[in-house]
């Protein structure tokens, strides 16, 4: 099989030919049909997440079909379409796993970080952490749901009952969560890189009531803000934009340092919280909700060997919506 492999951080991925793996106990072998390119992948490649298994095949927004099942797998059979997300395994015994917070597991394994992921023709996954994909979505349309959608959904839940919702950084996760927020009757305020008129127009096309640069103040106080851009200086900016009692949700796995800020913009029972990973319940809940909205993913397909180009464009902010790798070029037409 072919795989795009990270050999060491801050270097381009290398296309390799590898032996197709065999599923062990509890695992499934999946032929990859599409794999989203997530900002978390970029953090792994750029060395901002410091504990990868090397060499590693990135990618954790995987949609494919089961080819083989290992011993004791009963949930899936060959031919089934499945999604494989970031959370690849948990220990099941730590205090977090036992209390329903497996996203905080003390000994987890993450797809595309410690477990080889979906920038490949085939991948192996623990069947307990795979999910059926709604029939309403093609392979490429479904791929961004597996992380951008799931993390956006968990972030939105942390925003509580906010009516005026601000989103900082309008990329893959934001364009999905915006649709859910509007479905729930919220009013959306979208913040982009200053001067990014294309991203602002995209946000307006999805129903944002106001768009502007992250250096601007919204015309109304926000009840909550979600920050997807990995920029620490947005935290005090968002705190200034939310009302007393409001919440700022940091939705990324990595962020640059948060600068010092005066206590008075936190005072008034404002809160800053982070989102860490996801649970399997999050996946079941969101994949049931998405077709009801219905969430429409805006994707740009790339062939597998163009993974470095897709990552470069994500890094530079030159994508609208989500990039998706398609190992077989013909599948790109499914979008």
pLDDT tens track, the chain, 335 positions: 999 999 999 999 999 999 999 999 999 999 999 999 999 999 999 999 999 999 999 999 999 999 999 999 999 999 999 999 999 999 999 999 999 999 999 999 999 999 999 999 999 999 999 999 999 999 999 999 999 999 999 999 999 999 999 999 999 999 999 999 999 999 999 999 999 999 999 999 999 999 999 999 999 999 999 999 999 999 999 999 999 999 999 999 999 999 999 999 999 999 999 999 999 999 999 999 999 999 999 999 999 999 999 999 999 999 989 999 999 743 433 33
pTM: 0.94
What is residue 328's predicted lDDT score, i.e. its pLDDT?
79
Q: How far apart are CA 76 and CA 32, in angstroms?
A: 16
Instruction: Output the DSSP codes for 115-175.
Output: B--SSBSEEEEEGGG-EEPPTTS-HHHHGGGGTHHHHHHHHHHHTTT-SEEEEES-SHHHH
What is residue 269's predicted lDDT score, i.e. its pLDDT?
98
Residue 109: strand pairing partners? 89
Q: Is the peptide bond before 66 cis (omega within 30 degrees of 0)?
A: no
Of the candidates 146, 130, 145, the one whose C-alpha atom is nearest the C-alpha of residue 74 is: 130
3 state DSSP class of 229: coil
Q: How far apart are CA 32 and CA 292, in angstroms?
A: 26
What is residue 331's predicted lDDT score, i.e. its pLDDT?
42
The DSSP symbol for 259 reads P
Crossing angle of the two packed helices 280-289 and 148-158, in degrees rounded to 10:
100
Distances from the Cα of 285 to the Cα of 21, 93, 288, 291, 292, angstroms: 31, 23, 5, 11, 12
The DSSP symbol for 97 reads H
For the chain, list the domains and their CATH numbers: 2-147+278-334 (3.90.180.10), 150-274 (3.40.50.720)
CB atoms under 10 Å from CB of 256, counted, come to: 12
Q: How far apart are CA 148 and CA 213, in angstroms?
A: 22
Q: How far apart are CA 86 and CA 58, in angstroms?
A: 10
What is residue 13's predicted lDDT score, i.e. its pLDDT?
98
Instruction: Give the helix, strand, coil percentages of the chain, each rounded to 5.
Output: 30, 30, 45
What is residue 48's predicted lDDT score, i.e. its pLDDT?
97
Q: How far apart are CA 191 and CA 235, in angstroms?
A: 13
**H helical segments located in 166-279:** 172-183, 197-205, 234-241
Q: Is the peptide bond before 94 cis (omega within 30 degrees of 0)?
A: no
| CA 33, chain centre distance (Å) | 18
| CA 76, chain centre distance (Å) | 24
Q: Strand pairing of 131-132 and 222-227?
A: unpaired
Q: How far apart are CA 76 and CA 92, in angstroms?
A: 21
Q: How far apart are CA 76 and CA 66, in angstroms?
A: 8
What is residue 330's predicted lDDT score, i.e. its pLDDT?
37
The DSSP symbol for 33 reads E
3 state DSSP class of 234: helix
For Cα atoms 82, 84, 86, give the angle at the middle one, nearest 5 degrees: 165
């Amino acid at each position: 099989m072919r795989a795009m492999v990270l050999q060491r951080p801050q270097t381009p991925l290398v296309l390799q030919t590898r032996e197709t793996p065999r599923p062990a106990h509890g695992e499934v072998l999946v032929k990859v049909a599409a794999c989203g390119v997530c900002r978390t992948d970029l953090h792994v490649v750029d060395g901002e997440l410091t504990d990868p298994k090397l060499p590693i095949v990135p990618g954790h927004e995987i949609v494919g079909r089961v080819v083989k099942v290992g011993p004791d797998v009963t949930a899936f059979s060959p031919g089934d379409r499945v999604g494989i997300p970031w959370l690849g395994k948990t220990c099941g015994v730590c205090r977090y796993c036992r209390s329903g917070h497996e996203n905080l597991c003390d000994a987890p394994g993450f797809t595309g970080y410690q477990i080889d992921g979906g920038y490949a023709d085939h991948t192996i996954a623990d069947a307990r952490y795979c999910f059926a994909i709604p029939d309403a979505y093609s392979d490429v349309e479904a791929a961004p749901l597996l992380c951008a959608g799931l993390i956006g959904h968990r972030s939105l839940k942390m925003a509580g009952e906010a009516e005026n919702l601000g989103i900082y950084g309008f990329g893959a996760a934001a364009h999905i969560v915006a649709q859910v927020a509007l479905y729930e009757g919220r009013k959306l305020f979208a913040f982009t890189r200053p001067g990014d008129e294309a991203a602002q127009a995209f946000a307006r096309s999805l129903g944002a009531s106001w768009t502007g640069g992250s250096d601007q103040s919204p015309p109304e106080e926000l009840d909550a803000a979600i920050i997807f851009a990995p920029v620490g200086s947005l935290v005090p900016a968002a705190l200034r934009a939310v009302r007393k009692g409001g919440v700022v949700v940091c939705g990324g796995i990595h962020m640059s340092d948060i600068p010092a800020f005066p206590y008075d913009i936190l005072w008034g029972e404002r809160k800053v919280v982070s989102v860490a990973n996801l649970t399997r319940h999050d996946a079941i809940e969101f994949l049931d909700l998405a077709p009801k909205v219905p969430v429409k993913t805006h994707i740009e397909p790339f062939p597998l060997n163009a993974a470095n180009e897709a990552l470069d464009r994500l890094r530079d902010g030159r994508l609208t919506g989500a990039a998706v790798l398609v190992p077989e070029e013909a599948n790109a037409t499914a979008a």
